[in-house]
Amino acid sequence: MDLYEYQGKELFSRYGIPVSEGRLATTPEEAGSAAEALGGPVVVKAQVLTGGRGKAGGIKLAETPADAEERAREILGLDIRGHVVAKVWVERASEIANEYYLSLTFDRSAKRPLFMFTTQGGVDVEEVAASSPDALVRLHVHPLEGFQPWHGRRLVHDGGVTDPAERKQITAISGRLYAAFVGCEAMLCEINPLIVTTDGEVRALDSKFTVDDNALFRQPEIAAMRDAGAADPLEALAREKGVTYVKLDGDVGVLGNGAGLTMSTVDVVSFVGGRAANFCDLGGGGDAQGVVDALEVITSDSQVRAITFNIFGGITRCDEVARGILQALGQMGSELPVVVRLDGTNAEEGRRLLQAGPENVFVEATMLDGARKAVELAAAA
Residue 264 in contact with another protein, rule: CB under 8 A: yes
Residue 16 in contact with another protein, rule: CB under 8 A: no
Pick 6 or 181: Cβ nearer another protein: 181
Active site residue 63: no
Decide the pairing of beta strands 42-46 and 59-62: antiparallel
Q: Kindly tell me which residue out of 55, 134, 162, 218 binds another protein, with binding defined by CB under 8 A.
A: 218
Residue 295 in contact with another protein, rule: CB under 8 A: no
Q: Kindly tell me which residue out of 182, 223, 231, 332 binds another protein, with binding defined by CB under 8 A.
A: 182
Residue 93 CB, nearest approach to another protein (Å)? 30
Residue 288 in contact with another protein, rule: CB under 8 A: no
Q: Which of 4, 6, 100, 101 is catalytic?
A: 101
Q: Kindly tell me which residue out of 99, 158, 163, 185 binds another protein, with binding defined by CB under 8 A.
A: 185
Nearest to 125 by CA among 198, 206, 213: 206
Residue 276 carries which DSSP code?
Answer: B
- Amino acid 346 reads N
Q: Which residues pair with 89 in a beta bridge?
A: 24, 45
Active site residue 101: yes
Residue 214 in contact with another protein, rule: CB under 8 A: yes
Nearest to 75 by CA among 88, 66, 62, 65: 88
Helix (H) or strand (E) holding 160: none
Could you tell me how many residues of this chain bind another protein (CB under 8 A)? 50
Residue 144 CB, nearest approach to another protein (Å)? 5
Alpha-carbon gap, residue 254 to 278, rounded angstroms: 6
Options 9-17, 129-137, 250-258, 373-381: segment touching another protein (CB under 8 A):
250-258
Alpha-carbon gap, residue 265 to 328, rounded angstroms: 21
Pick 15 or 106: Cβ nearer another protein: 106
Alpha-carbon gap, residue 196 to 97, rounded angstroms: 6
Alpha-carbon gap, residue 18 to 234, rounded angstroms: 38
- Measure Cα distances from 85 to 4, 27, 89, 194, 268 in Å: 12, 11, 11, 24, 36
Q: Which of 5, 190, 364, 376 is catalytic?
A: 190
Options 39-47, 62-70, 170-178, 209-217: segment touching another protein (CB under 8 A):
209-217
The sign one gets for the Cα dihedral 223, 224, 229, 233 is positive
Q: Kindly tell me which residue out of 21, 29, 221, 267 binds another protein, with binding defined by CB under 8 A.
A: 267
Q: Kindly tell me which residue out of 117, 312, 322, 325 binds another protein, with binding defined by CB under 8 A.
A: 312
Q: Kindly tell me which residue out of 40, 55, 111, 302 binds another protein, with binding defined by CB under 8 A.
A: 111
Buried b vs exposed e over 170-180: b needs ≥16 C-beta within 10 Å? bbbbbbbbbbb
**Any residues with CB less than 8 A from the CB of 212 and at least 6 apart, and which?**
106, 185, 186, 187
Options 30-38, 70-78, 107-115, 288-296: segment touching another protein (CB under 8 A):
107-115
Interface of this chain with another protein, residues 332 to 371, rule: CB under 8 A: 343-345, 366-368
Q: How far is CA 99 from the centre of its chain?
A: 26
Residue 238 CB, nearest approach to another protein (Å)? 12
**Any residues with CB less than 8 A from the CB of 133 and at least 6 apart, and which?**
none
Categorise residue 53: left if φ over 0, alpha if ψ from -120 to 50, beta otherwise. Answer: alpha
Q: Kindly tell me which residue out of 8, 258, 337, 357 binds another protein, with binding defined by CB under 8 A.
A: 258
Residue 267 CB, nearest approach to another protein (Å)? 5
Q: Kindly tell me which residue out of 32, 58, 113, 175 binds another protein, with binding defined by CB under 8 A.
A: 113
Residue 187 in contact with another protein, rule: CB under 8 A: yes
Q: Kindly tell me which residue out of 26, 244, 327, 331 binds another protein, with binding defined by CB under 8 A.
A: 244
Phi, psi of 189 (to 5 degrees): -130, 115
Catalytic positions, written as ranges: 101, 190
Contacting residues toward another protein, per CB under 8 A: 106, 108-109, 111-113, 126, 142-144, 182, 185, 187, 212-215, 217-218, 244, 246, 248, 256-264, 266-271, 276, 279, 281, 284, 312, 314-315, 343-345, 366-368
